[in-house]
Structure 1
Amino acid sequence: MATTFRVSDLRFLAGLLLPLGLLFNMLVHPDRAGIGAFVIWIAVALVDGFWPGAHRSPPAGGSVGFLRWTLRLYVPVQVALLAVGIWVTARAEWAIVVGVAYGAGFLTGAQGITFAHELGHSRNKVDRFLGWVLMTCVNYPQFMVEHYRGHHVKAATHDDPASARLGESLWRFLPRTVVGSTIHAWQLEAKRLVEMKRGWISSPLLWATAVNVAFLAGIVALAEWKVLFFWLFQSAFAVWLLETVNYIEHYGLSRAPREPFGVQHAWNADHVVSNSLLANLQRHSDHHVNAWKPAAQLEALPGPQLPTGYAGCLLLAAVPPLWFRVMHPRLTEPRWQRNGPALGREGAGG
């Protein structure tokens, strides 16, 4: 498999162009920040859904380092974007505050959390630290514990709060996954500290949570209510995007607790626009079968296929009757329903 730079690797630079575009709008046209983000979301969904040429991404390979450095460079861009968002909303009218908060949440959720996820799967300590920074920016640092030590062990089983069950609507799934994942993350962290004979002072989860609490307390103490709305709204919308993607990725698929993870246990999409923006996240079966594999190397494995990329599926999932109507027939497709041997063994992440 190729590990050298390919021209097709340039598509991953889209992960930097969107936040830079939003940053420009915040500084120059803050009244357009929200509508700009929404237009991009709908445009990606339409391209994924209706342009036949967008249904296949370039094959696995290319430069692991190029994508990794793109993700690293995204981190200071997001921090700058949020700093500008705070500065703008502190002085803006409420209509602009809402639009800027929505635009920021769209980026911190769709790309920030996606990139934090990939950085957290790195064996490099600096990369994992950057993942913690991105998740702390959306007040959801528990993801950095639960995803790697919880979800990647229990994905597509009844015990995983981040795997949606057959017939479960998105709106029933959300409170279950947020509460369950948060509780399980703190339990996993407590267990790790006991096993390593360390105190809570060494826990990155505790420190990240303390930063979140202190930052919110500072905003309240200063009575910056527009800033408070901006910070909480962008975080909530980002987490909504994350957990809705979790809902999509394993909806209605299940395995026994001791059954190895196979291609039949995750939904996939290989739409080039979405995969370019989301660092190949939609090649999800290979990601779970080989959790340490860098995103640039993920392959489009056979298995359950989504009707479109994540941008469109987010909209479908928000309307449960429509989601069920589209997805339930796909659960019985014979191409992947056969219970053959798993293609690999589930790996543990970061």
Structure 2
Amino acid sequence: MTATSDARHTESKAVQNTDSPSGENPRWRDRKRYLWPLGLLIPLSPFISWFLVDNLRLGLFWATGAWLLVIVIPIIDMLAGEDGESPPDDAIPRLQKDRYYRWCTYAFLPLQYAGLVFACWCWINAPMGIAEKIAMSFTVGVVAGVGINAAHELGHKSEKSEQWLAKVALAQSLYGHFYVEHNFGHHVRVATPQDPASSRFGESFWRFLPRSVFGGLRSAWRIESARLQRKGKRTWSFENNILNAWAMSVVLFATLIGIFGWEVAPWLLLQAVAGFTFLEAANYLEHYGLLRGKRADGSYVRASPADSWNSDHVVSNLFLYQLQRHSDHHANPKLRYQSLRSAAEAPQLPAGYAVMIVIAWIPPLWRRVMDQRLLDYYDGDTERINVG
């Protein structure tokens, strides 16, 4: 038995013995089962913004989505602490088949687009100044960013319907190429210098951002072009997963501009940029400085939990479909979010994603928090670090 599987076996026994002092194998229950819909507060944030502004007469509440991400969730996350519970191996087949969890992600999409339409109405009809329209753009941008995370969850699945829903979720942020690059680029090259979405030791978020955005776009196009050529198909066709995903964005934006007028166009672009910036902030912290080992022939070993930063902070996980259990996700990418386990053997972030994203925006603070933690994980051996 490997160290990884041994740790999971021990963890599973610990969870089981907690529920059953006699040592029997009880039917494990997800204690967070009915808390997962809390994540739907994010796509509802444009409506919450309007309600707060209408009743409290304070324009700063147009940025409610941003306040949720950078203030409210981090505070609750620190108070709630870590989860400490993972599903045992024998519960995973049942969790994988439980469609309740799928509907928790499916429900995100109609609320996501209802909020976007409502934001367009507000930009045109609500008494808002320029600063308030920008604030609303960031609220909707947070929804778009978490929408990319919903697309991340859906896009990994083998069902065609869920793959198309992933593209629908990406349309708001103009990030349709993520569907190709993440699944067939990032997961292949993760924690290597060749991966644009794996940040390097000493690289600030603001240097990483353009490298990941444009590098991911170039990589996605090469991957999809090669796939179509192998099948004898034309690159410029509707079978191109990048082009058909981008077409959804064109139709969406054209429809909204046609209904509400060109006045909404700059705010639609701003919220899209905000959305993929939030996503790239998560990318930045997920693999900072980590480097996969190599075999004797120079090829990289298979991705393991050691190649992703892990965080088991319960509140952020509820809002992000357990994206923070990223170590298990890369080791087992087909597992649905409810089945992911916290990897004790992986490098551990000191806080949840909501806190760490804010820290990432301040490079000196990020390096103070993370650099020594990374060096300690590798016992000070810089040869084992992905250095920029």
Q: TM-score, normalised by structure 1?
A: 0.88
1:44 aligns to what?
A: 73
Which residue pairs with 1:346 in the alignment? none
CA distance in 2, matches of 1:117, 1:316: 23
Task: List aligned pairs for 1:1-350, cutoff 5 A.
Answer: 6-26=30-50, 29=53, 31=59, 33-41=61-69, 42-49=71-78, 51=79, 53-60=80-87, 63-64=95-96, 65-92=99-126, 93=128, 94-109=130-145, 111-199=146-234, 200-213=237-250, 216=253, 224-255=261-292, 256=294, 257-302=299-344, 303-333=346-376
Pick closer, same or farther for the CA change 1:158–1:21 going to 2, 3 Å: closer
CA contact (8 A) 2:46 2:136 kept: no
Q: Structure 1 pair 5/22, CA: closer, same or farther in 2 (3 Å)? A: farther
State the SS of the aligned residue for 1:90. helix
**Number of residue pairs matched by the alignment:** 335
Aligned equivalents of 2:252, 2:275: Cα separation in 1: 18
Bigger Cα Rg: 2
The alpha-carbon deviation at position 69 of structure 1 amounts to 0.9
After TM superposition, give the deviation of residue 223 of structure 1 in Å.
Answer: 9.4
Q: Is the 8 A contact 1:113 1:242 kept in 2?
A: yes
Contact 2:124/2:260 (8 A) holds in 1: no
- Offset, 1:162: 0.3
CA separation in 1, counterparts of 2:84 and 2:38?
Answer: 14
Which stretch of the first structure deviates more once superposed, 62-71 or 176-185?
62-71
Aligned AA (1:209)? W
In 2: Cα distance, 1:20 partner to 1:72 partner: 14
- The Cα offsets for residues 137-156 of structure 1, whole Å up to 9 and x where unpaired, read as 11010000000000000000
Give yes or no for contact 1:98–1:230 (8 Å, CA) kept in 2.
Answer: yes
Is the Cα contact below 8 Å between 2:46 and 2:119 reproduced in 1? no
Residues 57 and 96 of structure 1, relative CA distance in 2, 3 Å threshold: farther
In 2, Cα distance between equivalents of 1:11 and 1:223: 36
| Post-superposition offset of 1:207 | 2.0
CA contact 1:268–1:285 (8 Å) conserved in 2: yes
Deviation of residue 33 (structure 1)?
Answer: 4.7
Deviations 1:196-252 (A, max 9, x none): 222323223212223434555677789944311221111101100111110100001
With 287-296 and 250-259 compared, the bigger mean Cα shift is at 250-259
CA contact (8 A) 1:264 1:337 kept: no
Question: 1 CA distance for matches of 2:288 and 2:133?
Answer: 34
Percent of pairs identical after alignment?
A: 35
CA distance in 2, matches of 1:300, 1:321: 29
Task: Say what the alpha-carbon RMSD is for the aligned residues.
Answer: 2.5
Alpha-carbon distance between aligned partners in 2 of 1:46 and 1:184, rounded to the nearest angstrom? 37
For 1:314, the aligned partner's letter is: I
CA distance in 1, matches of 2:219, 2:27: 37
Query: Which structure 1 segments of 5+ residues have no match?
Result: 340-350
Go from structure 1 to structure 2 and tell me whether the alpha carbon gap of 1:274 and 1:208 turns closer, same or farther (over 3 Å shift): same
Report which structure shows greater RCO (CA 8 Å, sep ≥6): 1
Q: Which amino acid aligns with 2:322?
A: N
Deviation (angstroms), 1:266: 0.6
Deviation track 1:281-322 (CA, whole Å, cap 9, x = no partner) reads 101111000111111111111211111001010111111111
Task: State the TM-score, normalized to the length of structure 2.
Answer: 0.79
The 2-side partners of 1:338 and 1:17 are apart by 42
Is the CA contact (8 Å cut-off) linking 2:64 and 2:139 kept in structure 1?
yes
**8 A contact 1:26–1:85 mirrored in 2:** no
Question: Cα 1:215–1:277, aligned 2, differ >3 Å: closer, same or farther?
Answer: closer
Q: Which residue identity lines up with residue 181 of structure 2 in the other structure?
A: E
Distance in 1 between residues matched to 2:178 and 2:365, nearest whole Å? 29
Contact 2:168 2:248 in 1 (8 A): no
